[in-house]
Amino acid sequence: MYTAGFLLFIGIFSLAFWVLIFLSAFALPYAITMYVIEMLKGKKADKAAH
């Protein structure tokens, strides 16, 4: 009985661990990079308008 619960805990923990790895290694840097690029494009467009 305890083995199934322990395996469920380990499974959920490992899934959460890999989600955190994915977010920190790919998704967050990608989102920050896209945000910075959009801000730089906005500033260039601002300067061209004036």
User: CA 3, CA 13: separation in Å to the nearest integer?
Assistant: 15
Block residue for tokens 């920050």? 32
pLDDT for 28 equals 94
> Residues 29-36: what's their mean pLDDT?
95
Mean pLDDT of the chain, nearest integer: 90
User: How does residue 49 score in pLDDT terms, banded at 50, 70 and 90?
Assistant: low
